[in-house]
Amino acid sequence: MKKFKAIILTVILMTILSSALFAAGMQETAVLKLRAYIPERNTFTANEFGSFEVDSNAYNFSYSIAEEGYSRTLFVVAN
């Protein structure tokens, strides 16, 4: 009977101590810094009507379209 009481007491103490250990980490905040390089990608396409479409994940360029008669010219300037 003593062994049974000792086992029960050990299980109860382990339960109390382990729950206190795991609960301690729940109240703290952590800062996670992620560093990544995302390459810039610019895609200029012309559709069947002659207008240009721009798909880009960069904002360091500007573009303009000059139209003379039936021809259109796309000017791209990287900043």
Question: What pLDDT does residue 22 have?
Answer: 62
Q: Give 26-59 pLDDT, tens digit per residue.
A: 566 767 777 877 778 888 888 887 778 888 888 7
Q: Answer whether residue 19 shows pLDDT above 80.
A: no
Backbone angles phi, psi at 12, to 5 degrees: -65, -45
Please report which confidence band the pLDDT of residue 68 belongs to, taking 50, 70 and 90 as the band edges: confident
Give the chain's count of helices (H) and strands (E).
1, 4
64, β-bridge pairs: 75
Sorted by where each begins, the domain ranges of the chain are 2-78
**How far apart (Å, rounded) are the C-alpha atoms in residues 17 and 14?**
5
Question: What are the backbone dihedrals phi and psi of residue 46, each rounded to the nearest 5 degrees, phi first?
Answer: -115, 130
